[in-house]
Amino acid sequence: MLDPQEKIIVHVDPDLEDIVPRFMELRHEDVQVIDAALAAGDFMALSRIGHSMKGAGAGYGFDYITELGRSVEEAAKAQDAGGVRTYAAQLVSYLARVEVVFDG
pLDDT, tens digit (0-9, with 9 covering 90-100), for 44-91: 999 999 999 999 998 898 999 999 999 999 999 999 999 999 999 999
C-alpha 26/C-alpha 20 separation (Å) is 10
DSSP-derived secondary structure for the chain: ---TTS-EEEEE-GGGTTTHHHHHHHHHHHHHHHHHHHHHT-HHHHHHHHHHHHHHHHHHT-HHHHHHHHHHHHHHHTT-HHHHHHHHHHHHHHHHHEEEEE--
So what's the pLDDT on residue 68? 97
So what's the pLDDT on residue 58? 87
**Residue ranges of domains in the chain, CATH in brackets:** 25-99 (1.20.120.160)
* Full-model pTM: 0.90
Average pLDDT, the chain: 94
